[in-house]
């Protein structure tokens, strides 16, 4: 089979830019044997694989899991189960969304555990299925943090990302008040139409003054941050008592400063992180199933829909993926 | 009565050094009327008042509570109750440790709520009584965080402080393993004798290398930090998965950097704060009483003892307090 195969093992020694500038140092298009499933595993014929920021960090050796040389990259995909062992046998013939636990999704075939396959309902598009886990599950999990905190308003950086749009969709349904930052003026109105109560361009001259004013009025406590750097540090500094800065991405490579450690002491503010892998572990079987049901419901009712910015074959991805990822407002798919 | 009276209200606009260089801009020695207790309050004839770092931050307008012009400073003291109203009447004649909720302890008389007075057992010295709340209650509360986390080893900066010595004493009793930093070589052996399993001079050339090695071996998750700045940021960075950096003081004025935001995401590390005032509120009546009993037990059994570095009258304090506070390894008392 053809696959985009990892060229390195483990983690990198020297951090690199987070943006993908070229594929060649990290993966190669190779012809390899279709991997064999182990017990309770399945082989999936991949119909589409999504490309997430975590994939880029992973192939560069800067993600929370080690690389494996010679194994296809790609965390997430959709496809038909064409073979399985033990618990996997019952899934043969089913169309499933999955994460490639045994071998990655940027390939014609992938291996995964039967337990992480999500059989898809009929009305779900392949592209929604291929982007059904990382972003949607993260959206459900992080919006759950907002709901548990009990404050209707909350803050998000990178508001125009697919993930933030999903969270805004959930929030609007339940009367929550997202305050989001964007990098382009033209992203403001679409996000407000989706349900953001405030959408501010982080490059505007009066950005920090307006944000501080909104924070004083809305008193959000949860700050879901994909950026870090000085933008996030300044927003967190302007937030009030009990604020929780929850870092789940690092679009800015500069290191954030804690601008007032006294706020941690006297105002009970906290800095934490979110990682879906840890959330899945802690949520347990029951929590995961509830989230999966919720995700499919959101796509079937049309409240959620994945914006598609490009579809690339494995061959096209080697040259074209960096350019495709640079286009804002949509998701890129690899279609083997 | 004579008192060291606050000269300002509210908070300062411009941050100042944390060290006390002179008293004159913040407090003045004045002759004022003995304040009247309100309902459920008492008047205490102050026998001794301790001086904590929080007092210095407070008179400079940099603490979590606003200053009140014309009211005596001083958070903590010991003395005899000489008058009281309603619930306060029953305490008249008793020797109590207390925090000055109505009017501060750097005065001949102070006002406080009957509910925060701790009647002292016979064997407790005045100096232990005058330093019975801020440090000892903080020690009990923060060691409680260590115990709740379940890991035997934990890290502390400013290891030679009175507070850290109390925590080391508690830890040694229960088989916990404190790892502490100090600023002077001669502090190392006394702290090891008390129960620190590792005591490192933060100024040693190999400090960070040795600390990293110890952290890898001991795998502590709780980091109780009174310093912040680059020292604390570097220690936190070297700690492993699940580490919690709990800031309760700021001896270093430089702002700490989060050296790897990815650690928050993938390793589940967190940055928080501790403030005794918040802990008292959240612990509830029962938690507070349990802590008070534990504190007196520790002093009576001799496991705890307050090191005294100076006793100053109100007059002497105006000139002498900055110099007395600069002497390491002991507590300064104002004896009205």
Judge whether residue A115 has pLDDT over 90.
no
Find how far residue A203's CA is from the centre of its chain. Answer: 24
Judge whether residue B289 has pLDDT over 90.
no
Judge whether residue B170 has pLDDT over 90.
yes
Nearest CA in chain B to A62: B262
Cβ <8 Å between A268 and B264: no
CB A42 within 8 A of CB A117: yes
pLDDT at position B109: 97
pLDDT at position B17: 83
Q: What is the pTM of this model?
A: 0.91
- Identify the CA nearest to A238 among candidates A257, A213, A203, A261: A213
Find how far residue A256's CA is from the centre of its chain. Answer: 21
- Identify the CA nearest to A114 among candidates A56, A44, A51: A44
The C-alpha of A177 sits at a distance from chain B's nearest C-alpha, in angstroms, of 25
Count of residues making up chain B: 336
pLDDT at position A47: 97
Q: Say if domain B2-131+306-334 classifies as CATH 3.90.180.10.
A: yes
pLDDT tens digits for A89-103?
999 999 999 998 889
Tell me which fold the domain B135-276 belongs to.
Answer: Rossmann fold (3.40.50)
CB B123 within 8 A of CB B95: no
CA distance A259 to A210: 19
Judge whether residue A116 has pLDDT over 90.
no
pLDDT tens digits for A206-264?
999 999 999 999 999 999 999 999 999 999 999 999 999 999 998 888 999 999 999 99
Please state the ipTM of this predicted complex. 0.90
CA distance A71 to A56: 15
For A146, the enclosing helix (H) or strand (E) is helix A134-149
**Which residues from B are below 8 Å from A250, CB to CB?**
261-262, 265
pLDDT at position B334: 97
CA distance B307 to A308: 69
CA distance B58 to B64: 8
pLDDT at position B102: 82
pLDDT at position A12: 93
Find how far residue A181's CA is from the centre of its chain. Answer: 17
- pLDDT more than 70, % of chain A: 100
Mean pLDDT, residues B43-68 taken together: 94
Interstrand relation of B244-247 and B270-273 (parallel, antiparallel or unpaired):
parallel
CB A292 within 8 A of CB A268: no
Q: A276-300 and A162-173 are packed helices; what angle lies between their axes, rounded to 10 degrees? A: 60
Q: Which of A264, A269, A273 sits opposite B264 (nearest CB)?
A: A273
Domains in chain B: boundaries: 2-131+306-334, 135-276
As a whole number, the mean pLDDT across chain A is 94
Cβ <8 Å between A264 and B256: no
pLDDT tens digits for B137-160?
999 999 999 999 999 999 999 999
Q: Categorize the per-residue pLDDT at B305 as very low, low, confident or very high, splitting at 50, 70 and 90.
A: confident
Judge whether residue B329 has pLDDT over 80.
no
For B3, the enclosing helix (H) or strand (E) is strand B2-6
Q: Which of residues 49-108 of A touch B (CB under 8 A)?
A: 62-64
- Please report the DSSP string for A151-174 in residue order: -SEEEESSTTSHHHHHHHHHHHHT
Burial class (CB in 10 A: 0-12, 13-18, 19+), B186: exposed
- Identify the CA nearest to B267 among candidates B237, B235, B230, B233: B237
A249 touches chain B (CB under 8 A): yes
Q: 3-state class of A107 per DSSP?
A: strand
Q: Which of A63, A257, A273 sits opposite B257 (nearest CB)?
A: A257
CB B103 within 8 A of CB B116: no
Mean pLDDT, residues B59-75 taken together: 94
- In chain A, beta strands by DSSP E: 2-6, 27-31, 41-51, 76-84, 95-99, 109-113, 118-119, 153-156, 177-182, 198-201, 222-225, 244-247, 270-273, 308-312, 331-334
For A324, the enclosing helix (H) or strand (E) is helix A314-325
Q: Which of A63, A259, A264 sits opposite B247 (nearest CB)?
A: A264
pLDDT tens digits for A30-67?
999 999 999 999 999 999 999 998 999 999 999 888 99
pLDDT at position B43: 97
A185 contacts: CB under 8 Å, gap ≥ 6: A201
CA distance B293 to B74: 24
- Identify the CA nearest to A68 among candidates A26, A22, A34: A26
Question: What does the buried/exposed string (b/e) look like for A257-283 if buried means 16 or more CB atoms within 10 Å of the residue's CB?
Answer: bbebbbbbbbbbbbbbbbbbebbbeeb
Mutate to test the interface with A, among B265, B266, B279, B280 (most CBs of A within 10 A): B265
Beta bridge partners of A50: A333
pLDDT at position A277: 86
């Amino acid at each position: 089979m053809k696959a985009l195969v990892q060229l390195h093992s483990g983690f990198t020694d020297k951090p690199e830019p987070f943006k993908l500038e070229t594929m060649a140092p990290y993966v190669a298009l190779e012809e390899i044997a279709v991997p064999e499933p182990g017990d309770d595993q399945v082989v999936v014929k991949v119909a589409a694989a999504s490309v997430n920021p975590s994939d880029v960090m992973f192939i560069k050796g800067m993600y929370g899991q080690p690389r494996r040389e010679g194994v296809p990259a790609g965390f997430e995909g959709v496809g038909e189960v064409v073979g399985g062992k033990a618990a996997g046998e019952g899934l043969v013939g089913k169309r499933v969304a999955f994460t490639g636990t045994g071998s990655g999704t940027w390939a014609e075939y992938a291996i995964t555990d039967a337990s992480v396959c999500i059989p898809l309902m009929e009305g779900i598009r392949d592209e929604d299925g291929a982007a059904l886990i990382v972003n949607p599950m993260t959206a459900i999990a992080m919006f759950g943090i907002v709901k548990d905190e009990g404050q209707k308003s909350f803050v998000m950086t990178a508001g125009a990302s697919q993930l933030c749009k999903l969270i805004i969709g959930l929030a609007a349904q339940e009367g929550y008040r997202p305050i989001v930052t964007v990098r382009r003026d033209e992203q403001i109105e679409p996000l407000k139409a989706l349900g953001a109560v405030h959408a501010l361009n982080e490059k505007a001259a009066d950005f920090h003054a307006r944000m501080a004013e909104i924070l004083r009025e809305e008193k959000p406590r949860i700050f879901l941050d994909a950026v870090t750097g000085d933008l996030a540090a300044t927003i967190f500094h302007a937030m009030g008592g009990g604020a929780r800065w929850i870092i789940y991405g690092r679009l800015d490579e500069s290191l954030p400063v804690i601008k007032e450690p006294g706020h941690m002491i006297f105002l009970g503010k906290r800095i934490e992180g979110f990682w879906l892998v840890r959330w899945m572990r802690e949520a347990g079987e029951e929590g995961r199933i509830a989230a999966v049901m919720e995700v499919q419901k959101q796509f079937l009712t049309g409240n959620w829909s994945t914006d598609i910015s490009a579809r690339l074959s494995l061959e096209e991805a080697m040259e074209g993926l960096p350019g495709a990822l640079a286009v804002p407002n949509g998701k890129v798919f690899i279609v083997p």
